[in-house]
């Protein structure tokens, strides 16, 4: 993650933007306007030589933040729609103080109803054990009893909604939104890695001495790590592109849509978590991921982004202080 954030826009872009505009020179204009136009032309030519045609670092940074924020918004909207259809209580949590307050909950939460649901769940668990069921089966029956009586949006209730025909289009729209964001981000990431291919070849052919520290790393080792990182990104890109293609067309209303949705959820979870789930288990696993794992993952990503920014600032400060210390 750290390598994604260290790239930043070239400072000279502001200079290029500042000199853009209509041609100022015309017949009969003053020497001041003529000189100004000449200066702008020279500055623009200098900036075009100094800057790359496409600031890959800026595009990568922008795609990363767009994917991070867009995924959270898509998930919040998807869960809000599910709660509205199920007449359950759900309120999307705010992500930062610079955003508007989350939408009002789709249903007011009742503490008394929640208490009754907990009691019903406990009774179902005890009854299941007394009738000879295994603890795992008893827990499942307790979850179902609780989900049927609580007004909160639970993974069990969400999983039941996912299996209904009315939810298919919402699922497809959510997964397509996430896939589009991820594909765009990975495209920017692979484009930013293109200039490193030449460096990888140079390092792979060099017999540099091992650096200090344990374990030692040669230049060939560094080249191997760069190639592995690029191969991993390419594999992820192909996975997400495949999912993106599967979500196209009329996936929600295609023949055998129930089996199609199971396959799409399985493919989505594989892209997101790297874990393959059985077709018949995808609804519950998908619901748990949306309500629990995705939120924890988003919080971790935001914390990592902030930590990386702070680390980059410390590196810049240290690099700036080194020449001054050497000169002293």
Q: DSSP per residue over 34-88, as a string?
A: HHHHHHHHHHHHHHHHHS-SS-HHHHHHHHHHHHHHHHHHHHHHHHHHHHHHHT-
> Which of these ranges, 29-33, 153-157, 238-242, has the smallest mean pLDDT?
29-33
pLDDT at 215 over 90: no
Q: Which residues contact 217 (CB under 8 A, 6 or more apart)?
A: 210, 211
pLDDT at 30 over 70: no
Q: Please say whether the beta carbons of 192 and 56 come within 8 A.
A: yes
What is the predicted pLDDT for the residue at 308? 86
> What are 49's two structure tokens?
């030589």
Separation between Cα atoms, residue 237 and residue 63, nearest integer Å:
14
Q: Which residues contact 134 (CB under 8 A, 6 or more apart)?
A: none
> What is the band of 204 on the pLDDT scale with cuts at 50, 70, 90?
confident
Q: Please say whether the beta carbons of 103 and 114 come within 8 A.
A: no
What is the predicted pLDDT for the residue at 21? 41
> Residue 284 carries which DSSP code?
H
Compute the average pLDDT of residues 34-62.
55
Q: 248, 224, 229: which is closest to 186 by C-alpha?
A: 229
Query: CB atoms < 10 A from the CB of 301, how many?
Result: 16
> In this predicted model, which residue has the larger pLDDT, 318 or 106?
318
Compute the average pLDDT of residues 258-267.
92
* Cα dihedral sign, 82-72-117-286: positive
Report percent pLDDT > 90 for the chain: 28
Separation between Cα atoms, residue 86 and residue 120, nearest integer Å:
20
> Which of these ranges, 71-75, 81-85, 121-125, 220-224, has the smallest mean pLDDT?
121-125
Q: 61, 71, 70: which is closest to 3 by C-alpha?
A: 61
The model's pLDDT over 65-119, given as tens digits with 9 standing for 90+, comes to 899 999 999 999 999 999 999 888 777 766 665 556 555 555 555 666 556 666 6
What is the predicted pLDDT for the residue at 102? 56
> What is the band of 181 on the pLDDT scale with cuts at 50, 70, 90?
very high
Q: Does 215 sit behind a cis peptide bond, omega within 30 degrees of 0 on the bond before it?
A: yes
Distance of CA 285 to the CA centre of its chain: 19
309 to 182, 218, 306: CA distances (angstroms): 21, 28, 5
> Which of these ranges, 23-37, 134-148, 210-224, 234-248, has the smallest mean pLDDT?
23-37
What is the predicted pLDDT for the residue at 2? 39
> Which of these ranges, 17-21, 32-36, 96-100, 248-252, has the smallest mean pLDDT?
17-21
Kindly report the length of the chain: 328
Say which residue the tokens 């484009």 belong to.
191
pLDDT at 5 over 80: no
> What is the band of 154 on the pLDDT scale with cuts at 50, 70, 90?
confident
Mean pLDDT of the chain: 75
What is the predicted pLDDT for the residue at 26? 40
> What is the band of 288 on the pLDDT scale with cuts at 50, 70, 90?
very high
Report percent pLDDT > 70 for the chain: 64
């Amino acid at each position: 993650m750290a390598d994604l954030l260290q790239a930043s826009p070239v400072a000279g872009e502001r200079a290029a933007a500042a000199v853009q505009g209509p041609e100022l020179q015309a017949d009969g204009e003053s020497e001041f306007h003529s000189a100004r136009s000449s200066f702008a032309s020279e500055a623009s030519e200098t900036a075009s030589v100094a800057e790359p045609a496409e600031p890959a670092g800026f595009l990568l940074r922008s795609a990363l933040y767009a994917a991070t924020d867009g995924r959270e918004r898509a998930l919040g909207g998807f869960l809000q729609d599910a709660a509205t259809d199920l007449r359950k209580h759900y309120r999307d949590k705010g992500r930062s103080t610079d955003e508007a307050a989350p939408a009002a909950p789709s249903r007011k939460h009742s503490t008394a109803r929640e208490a009754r649901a907990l009691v019903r769940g406990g009774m179902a668990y005890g009854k299941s054990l007394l009738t000879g069921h295994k603890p795992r089966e008893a827990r499942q029956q307790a979850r179902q009893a609780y989900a049927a009586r609580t007004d909160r949006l639970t993974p069990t209730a969400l999983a039941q909604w996912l299996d209904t025909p009315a939810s298919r289009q919402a699922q497809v729209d959510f997964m397509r939104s996430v896939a589009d964001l991820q594909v765009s981000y990975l495209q920017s990431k692979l484009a930013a890695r293109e200039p490193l291919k030449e460096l990888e070849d140079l390092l792979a052919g060099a017999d540099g001495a091992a650096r200090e520290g344990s374990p030692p790393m040669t230049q060939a080792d560094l080249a191997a790590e760069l190639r592995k990182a690029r191969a991993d990104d390419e594999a992820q890109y192909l996975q997400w592109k495949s999912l993106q293609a599967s979500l196209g067309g009329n996936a929600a209303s295609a023949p055998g849509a129930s089996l199609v949705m199971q396959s799409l959820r399985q493919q989505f979870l594989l892209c997101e978590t790297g874990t393959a789930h059985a077709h018949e288990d995808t609804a519950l696993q998908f619901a748990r991921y949306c309500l629990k794992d995705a939120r924890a993952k988003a919080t971790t990503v935001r914390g990592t982004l902030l930590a990386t920014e702070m680390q980059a600032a410390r590196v810049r400060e240290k690099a700036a202080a080194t020449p001054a210390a050497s000169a002293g």
